[in-house]
């Protein structure tokens, strides 16, 4: 890891402990003051304490980087855990380059191959041009003259994952959403253990490059001669990350085209391949000068059983059609709802989960959904989801949904940010 990041378990534990203490202290200060605060100001003071607590957590996450920042990015995309100002700061971390010393990066590459960098690449730029969550990306040139993007893993990052996950749980504990976050972190840990194996990621890239047939989508080619478990070399995808591209104020047709390609990517991957690229942060989507959409960073890929996918695809249709009994039956078969519910609880769960289904169903009721004309769509869904979270003790956590929902919701958030019009209807879910 870069020299300014706490490395040892003790150092990272102390850093996280200080952060947790600061975050918890913000809430403790509010709780002590609460009985003496006028009722008209109480909610405002509570929100301020929660914001200050989240900001303290964010600062600690940025200090630890690596696993910690990866989880923060995931949570900011999927669950709106952090306030708006904190999420804006997290968005910057998608492409920020950590200050990894040039000597250290060359040493990391050399150690990975057991040879000098000059024996591996014709040219190698020791200054990173992009950040991956568990490493950073450098420009290089192969001996055949091909421009490469070389992802180099932070030395020792694999050994920090398990201890960091434990640390993150304690760090996030002061947040009111902690009980909603904990199951997600467990699933993230499983994917992280896959992400630190760059040979596994190389196989993912090769699979998607061969299997995806989507017009306008570019998947890079793996350069196996200069790849191993700690270093991954692919053809360089030139262009701007999605969030930077949006700052250039592209025309609406271009925005809609990119959003539609992203949605088609998700649908074709889930239903055609039963495997999805499950990291929908803007830095992974590169808008190329020739108009192609480049897809990078295949460390986080989630595979699904075909039987699960077949049940899942039926949910939108049953919700829109008003088939409540069938919708509830699907939720049981998908192992979302516990079987032993009393009549009153069943009815409450029935109404709440059907409300969520109807909300998602709105995307399918029109030929193309205009996110610019529906600015409150995700806010409405967030409130419905919170109502569902209150019934968590009656819900089974099917791990399949963690990265599935993360990806689909993350894309919807992007579409809303883009103000895009997207055709959500598709032959798999709407036949």
Residue numbers annotated as active site: 279
- What single string gives the DSSP state of each residue in 342-388? -HHHHHHHHHHHHHHHHHHHGGGSSSSEETTT-TTHHHHHHHHHHHH
Q: Are 120 and 228 in contact (CB under 8 A)?
A: no
What does each C-alpha distance from 114 to 111, 225, 396 come to in angstroms? Answer: 5, 14, 48
What does each C-alpha distance from 364 to 137, 320, 370 come to in angstroms? Answer: 39, 8, 11
Q: Are 286 and 293 in contact (CB under 8 A)?
A: yes
Nearest to 100 by CA among 71, 145, 131: 131
Q: Are 154 and 100 in contact (CB under 8 A)?
A: yes
Strands 285-287 and 293-295: antiparallel
- Per DSSP, helices labelled H in 65-132 are 66-78, 84-92, 102-113, 117-120
Query: What contacts 144, CB < 8 A, 6 or more positions away?
Result: none
> What's the chain's Rg over C-alpha atoms?
23
Neighbours of 394 (CB within 10 A): 19
Per the document, the length of the chain is 431
- What single string gives the DSSP state of each residue in 178-219? HHHHHHHHHHHHHHHHHHT-HHHHHHHHHHHHHH---TTEE-
Phi, psi (degrees; rounded to nearest 5) at 249: 55, 60
**CA–CA distance, 52 with 388 (Å, rounded to integer):** 26
Q: Are 136 and 152 in contact (CB under 8 A)?
A: yes
**CA–CA distance, 265 with 411 (Å, rounded to integer):** 11
**CA–CA distance, 168 with 419 (Å, rounded to integer):** 33
**CA–CA distance, 327 with 320 (Å, rounded to integer):** 10
């Amino acid at each position: 890891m870069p020299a300014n990041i706490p490395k040892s378990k003790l150092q990272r534990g102390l850093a996280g402990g200080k952060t947790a203490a600061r975050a918890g202290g913000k809430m403790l200060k509010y709780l002590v003051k609460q009985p003496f605060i006028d009722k008209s100001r109480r909610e405002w003071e509570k929100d301020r304490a929660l914001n200050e607590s989240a900001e303290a957590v964010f600062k600690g996450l940025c200090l630890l980087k690596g696993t910690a920042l990866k989880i923060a990015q995931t949570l900011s995309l999927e669950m709106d855990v952090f306030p708006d100002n904190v999420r804006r700061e997290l968005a910057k971390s998608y492409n920020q380059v950590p200050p990894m010393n040039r000597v250290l990066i060359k040493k990391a590459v050399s150690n990975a191959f057991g040879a000098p960098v000059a024996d591996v690449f014709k040219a190698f730029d020791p200054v990173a041009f992009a950040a991956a969550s568990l490493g950073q990306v450098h420009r290089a040139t192969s001996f055949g003259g091909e421009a490469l993007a070389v992802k180099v893993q932070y030395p020792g990052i694999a050994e920090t994952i398990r201890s960091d996950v434990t640390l993150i749980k304690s760090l996030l504990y002061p947040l009111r959403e902690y009980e909603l976050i904990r199951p997600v972190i467990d699933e993230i840990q499983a994917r992280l253990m896959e992400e630190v194996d760059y040979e596994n990621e190389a196989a993912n890239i090769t699979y998607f490059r061969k299997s995806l047939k989507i017009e306008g989508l570019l998947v890079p080619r793996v350069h196996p001669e200069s790849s191993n478990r700690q270093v991954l070399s692919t053809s360089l995808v030139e262009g701007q990350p999605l969030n930077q591209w949006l700052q250039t104020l592209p025309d609406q047709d271009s925005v809609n085209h990119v959003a539609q390609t992203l949605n088609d990517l998700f649908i074709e991957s889930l239903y055609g391949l039963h495997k999805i690229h499950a990291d929908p942060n803007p830095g992974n989507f590169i808008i190329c000068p020739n108009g192609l959409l480049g897809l990078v960073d295949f460390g986080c890929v989630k595979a699904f059983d075909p039987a699960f996918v077949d049940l899942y695809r039926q949910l939108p249709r049953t919700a829109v059609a008003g088939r409540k009994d069938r919708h509830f039956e699907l939720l049981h078969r998908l192992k979302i709802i516990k079987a032993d519910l009393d009549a009153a609880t069943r009815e409450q769960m029935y109404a709440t989960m059907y409300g969520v289904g109807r909300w998602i169903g709105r995307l399918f009721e029109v030929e193309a959904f205009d996110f610019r004309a529906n600015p409150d769509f995700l806010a409405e869904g967030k409130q419905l989801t919170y109502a569902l979270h209150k019934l968590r003790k009656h819900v089974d956590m099917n791990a399949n949904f963690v990265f599935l929902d993360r990806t689909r919701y993350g894309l919807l958030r992007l579409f809303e940010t883009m103000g895009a019009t997207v055709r959500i209807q598709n032959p798999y879910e709407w036949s």
